[in-house]
Amino acid sequence: MALDWKNLSFSRQILPIIAVIGLIAAAAFILAGLPDRELSEPEREPPRAPEALANEARVAGSGVVEPSSETIQIGSALSGLITDLLVQPGDRVGEGQVLFTVDDRAARAQLREANAAIAEARASIAEARTAQATAARQLTLYRNVDDPAAVSRSEVIRAEGEASAARERRKLAEARLQAAQARAGSAQTEIGRLTVRAPIAGEILAVNIRKGEYVSTMGGGSQPFIEMGQTQPLHVRIDIDEEQAPRVALGAPATVSPRGAADRQVEAVFVRAEPLVVPKRSLTNSAAERVDVRVLQVIYQLPETEGLFRVGQQVDAYIAARGSDQ
Amino acid sequence: MLWIAIRMLTGDAQKFYGLVFGIAFSTLLITQQLTIFVNLIERGASGTYNVSNADIWVMDPVSRTTDVAYAMPATALDKVRSVPGVEWAVPHLRSQASVRTKDGDLEGVAVIGVDDATLIGLPKRMLEGSPDVLSQPDSVIIDDVGMTRMFPDGSPIGERLELNDQRAVIRGIADAIPSFTSTVVLYTKYSQALNYVPGTRNRLSFVLVGAEEPAQAKALSERIERETGLKAQTRDEFAQDGIDFIIENTGIPLNFGITVALGFIVGVAIVGLTFSLFIRDNIKQFGALKAIGVTNAKIRRMVAVQAGLVGLTGYGLGVLGTVIFIWSFSADPTFKGFYIPWQIPLISALAVFVILALTGWLALRNVLKTEPASVFR
C-alpha cells in the first residue's frame, strides 16, 4: 500500500494528487479573489454635526456668507462716462468717500454759463443803480429850483420817467441775477450728483466698471457698478427647509463650517430670522429654474476668523432644534 | 481492503475516467454557471458597492436602484443632516447623459456627481491619476469600462468630450466594477454634474450618509425614514435591491437555473450509469469478497471509498477548471470583477455528494442483496 515509485499509477496516485493540489490552488484563488467590500472612512473630512448635537435633535441648513450690511450695489444718479475710479476691490472706505466720478464737463459748462450770467446781471444792476442815482439827482435838482419858469414841466416829467425806468431796470437785473444764481446752484448740484460716494463705511467687494466706460441709469446692464458692504463682522444667511423651520430653536447659536474645510467649525451668534419665507435659490445656473421648495432664512453673525470665511462662500450649518435644550 | 477497492475502481481505466469526467464536467458546469450567474446579477449592486464610504443611501420613496432613481429637491440633504445619529451626509447625483466624442460619435454615459468638498462617492481605487484631479476645471474621471469602450486604442487621459454643450476633460481613470449594462461612467463633481446633465427641476438623486454607529445602520435608516419621509436603505439592503431588480426584470435566473439543473442531470446521468455499470460488472468480485466473509458494512465502506476517490478527483478537476476559466477571462473587460463566491464550490461539492450518494446507493442495493453463492453460478 505504501508508495512504490516503480509502481506509480497515474489514475491511482498522480491524478488524485493533482486534484487535491488543484483544489488547494482553487481555494487560494477563490479566497484571494473575493471582492473588497469593506466600508472605508472618507479621506476628506465631510461636514459633521458638532459633538454637542451629535445625538440630539438638530436642524441642518446650508447658506451663504454675506456682509453684515448685506451687499450694497452702488448705482449712479446720472449717466455718463467714468472719468475717475478711486477704489479697487478689497479697499476699505469710510462713509462719504468718493468711489468714482462721472464725466462732468457738461455740468461745469452750465455752471460757467450761469456764473457769466450772474456777472452780467450784477453789471446790469450796477448800471441801473448808476442811472437811477443820476436820474434821482437830476430830479432833486429840478425840485429844488423855486422859479417854476426856470424848468419846463416836460423836463421834470422826463427826469421822473428816467428815475423810474432806472429803478425798474435794476429790479429786472436783480431778478436775472437770482435766476442765474439758481442756474449756478443747479449746475453745482449736478456736479455733486456726478460724484458717487460710499453710503456707509465698509469694504469694496467688487468693481465692475473701468475708467472710460459708460454707466447708464437706464438699466439693462445686469451687473451692479460697484458692490460693497460692511464685512466686519460677516453675517451668514442659512436656508432652512420650510418643513424643518418650526423645529429651529431661534436664538440658539449655529455651528458653521465652510465648504471644503469642514473640520474648522465656528460658532455663530443668532442675529434674526427673516420674516419672509422665500423660494430656495438653487445654484444650478439655470435661467428657467422652477422652484417648489421654500426656505426660512436665518441670519447669524460669524466670529472674527483669519480669512476662513469670505463673502459669497457656501457654508454648512447645524442648529439645535427646539426642545433639545429643555 | 480499501486499497483493493481502489485497485478495483482504477482497474478499468475507461470506466474510471468516465466517472471522473462525469463528476468533473458536472462540477465545472454547476460551479462555472453559478459563478457567472451570481456575478451577473451582482452587477446590479455594483453601483452601490463602488461607493465605499456610505453606510446608508437615502432616496425618494419611489427610487428603486442606483440607476432607477427619482430626484429629490436640494433641501433633502439638510433634512437628512438634521436626523440625530447621522454623522455626515453628502449629495450624490446619478444621471444618464449623451456624450459627444472627438470623432463626433454619440455615446450614452452615466454621469455621477460626487460631493464637491469631500469627493465621497468615488470608487475606492484609481487606475490612473488621483481623485484630486476633479479640482481642476471641467474635469471628469472615466471608469475602466468606459476607457476600453470609448478609447480602445490609447490612453483617454487628456481627451476632450462634449457633454450638454459643455467641455469635459478626462483627467483620471477609476477602477470600478462595471454596471449590469456596462455603461460608460463619468465621475465629476456635483456642481459640475449639474451643468453636464440637462436640467430638470430637482437634481439630487441620492444622499449618502455616514452613520455615527455603523453597526446600527439599520436602526438609523429607519429613523431617517420616519423623520424625513424619504426612503433610506443600508448599503447591503440597497445592493440587494439592485440584484432583485435584475432578477425581477430579466430572464437571467431562469436561464441559468436551467443550465445548473442540466449540469446536475448530466452529472447524475453519466456518473449514475457508469457507476452502477461498474458495480454491476464487479458484482462477481463483491460476491467473492462476501464469500470469504466480508461483511456488508465493509462493502459499503469500500464503495464509499471508491465514490470518494472519484468524487474528490472529479470535483478537484472541475473546480480547477472553473478557476482556470475565470482566471483566463479576468483580463476581459466584460468579466471585470468576476469572482467565485466561496459558497458556490460548497454548493457544487454538495451536488457531487448527492450525485454519488444517490448512484452509489442505487448500485449498492444489488450488491448487498447478492448471495455469496452467485460467484459460482
With a cut of 50, list the residues of chain A below it in pLDDT.
Answer: 1, 284-289, 324-326
Of B79, B195, B210, nearest to A241 by CB-CB distance is B79
Question: What is the Cα Rg of chain A in Å?
Answer: 44
The whole-angstrom separation of Cα B107 and Cα B120 is 26
The whole-angstrom separation of Cα B223 and Cα B238 is 16
> Chain A to chain B, count of Cβ pairs less than 8 Å apart?
171
Provide CB contacts within 8 A for A36, sequence distance 6+: B124
Q: Give me the sign of the Cα torsion angle A255, A261, A264, A266.
A: negative
Q: Show the 3-state SS of chain B.
A: CHHHHHHHHHHCHHHHHHHHHHHHHHHHHHHHHHHHHHHHHHHHHHHHHHCCCCCEEEECCCCCCCCCCCCECCCHHHHHHCCCCEEEEEEEEEEEEEEECCCCCEEEEEEEEECCCCCECECCEEEECCHHHHHCCCEEEEEHHHHHHHCCCCCCCCCEEEECCEEEEEEEEEECCCCCCCCEEEEEEHHHHHHHCCCCCCCECEEEEEECCHHHHHHHHHHHHHHHCCEEEEHHHHHHHHHHHHHHHCCHHHHHHHHHHHHHHHHHHHHHHHHHHHHHHCHHHHHHHHHCCCCHHHHHHHHHHHHHHHHHHHHHHHHHHHHHHHHHCCCCHHHCCCCCCCHHHHHHHHHHHHHHHHHHHHHHHHHHHCCHHHHHC
pLDDT the model gives residue A326: 39
pLDDT the model gives residue A282: 59
Query: What value does the mean pLDDT take over residues B25-50?
Result: 87
Of B7, B74, B195, nearest to A285 by CB-CB distance is B195
The whole-angstrom separation of Cα A17 and Cα B211 is 50
pLDDT the model gives residue A83: 92
Cell numbers of B315, please? 470535483
Between residues 37 and 76 of chain B, which touch chain A (CB distance below 8 Å)? 49, 52-53, 55, 73-75
The whole-angstrom separation of Cα B185 and Cα B107 is 11
β-bridge pairing A254-258 and A314-320: antiparallel
pLDDT the model gives residue A97: 93
β-bridge pairing A80-85 and A214-215: antiparallel
Q: Can you tell me whether residue A9 is helix, strand or coil?
A: coil
- Over pLDDT 70: what percentage of chain B? 98
pLDDT the model gives residue A285: 46
pLDDT the model gives residue B257: 84
pLDDT the model gives residue A85: 92
What is chain B's mean pLDDT, rounded?
A: 86
Between residues 152 and 191 of chain B, which touch chain A (CB distance below 8 Å)? 177, 191
Q: Out of A167-171, B71-75, B155-159, B197-201, pick the least confident.
A: B197-201
The answer to whether the Cβ–Cβ distance between B119 and A49 falls below 8 Å is no
The whole-angstrom separation of Cα B241 and Cα A199 is 60
pLDDT the model gives residue B262: 86
CA closest to B3 among chain A residues: A1
Amino acid residing at B10? T
The answer to whether the Cβ–Cβ distance between A290 and B86 falls below 8 Å is no
Q: How many residues does chain B have?
A: 377
> Measured between beta carbons, which residues in chain B are less than 8 angstroms from residue A27?
345
The whole-angstrom separation of Cα B24 and Cα B317 is 6
pLDDT the model gives residue A291: 59
The answer to whether the Cβ–Cβ distance between A260 and B337 falls below 8 Å is no
pLDDT the model gives residue B99: 85
Cell numbers of B75, please? 433641501
Angstroms from A311 CA to nearest CA on chain B? 18
> Measured between beta carbons, which residues in chain A are less than 8 angstroms from residue B339?
30, 33-35
> Measured between beta carbons, which residues in chain B are less than 8 angstroms from residue A26?
316, 319-320, 322-323, 345
- Point out which residues pair with A101 in neighbouring strands: A84, A195
Using a CB–CB cutoff of 8 Å, tell me whether B199 touches chain A: yes
Q: Cell numbers 457654508 correspond to what residue?
A: A315
Query: What value does the mean pLDDT take over residues B3-7?
Result: 79
**Among the listed residues B365, B301, B302, B338, the one whose alpha carbon sits nearest the alpha carbon of residue B35:** B338
DSSP state of A248: B
Q: Which of A1, A240, A284 to mutate to test the interface with B (most CBs of B within 10 A)?
A: A284
Q: Give me the sign of the Cα torsion angle A136, A141, A144, A145.
A: negative
Angstroms from A114 CA to nearest CA on chain B? 59
Q: Can you tell me whether residue A103 is helix, strand or coil?
A: coil
Q: Which of A48, A59, A238, A248 to mutate to test the interface with B (most CBs of B within 10 A)?
A: A48
pLDDT tens-digit map of B87-116? 899 999 998 888 887 777 888 889 999 988
Is the complex ipTM higher than 0.95?
no
β-bridge pairing A58-67 and A202-207: unpaired
Angstroms from B49 CA to nearest CA on chain A? 6
The whole-angstrom separation of Cα A132 and Cα B143 is 103
Of B177, B203, B317, nearest to A22 by CB-CB distance is B317
Amino acid residing at B232? A
Angstroms from A229 CA to nearest CA on chain B? 27
> Measured between beta carbons, which residues in chain A are less than 8 angstroms from residue B43?
none
Of B80, B118, B191, nearest to A45 by CB-CB distance is B118
pLDDT band, very low/low/confident/very high, at B201 (cuts 50, 70, 90)? confident
pLDDT band, very low/low/confident/very high, at B188 (cuts 50, 70, 90)? very high
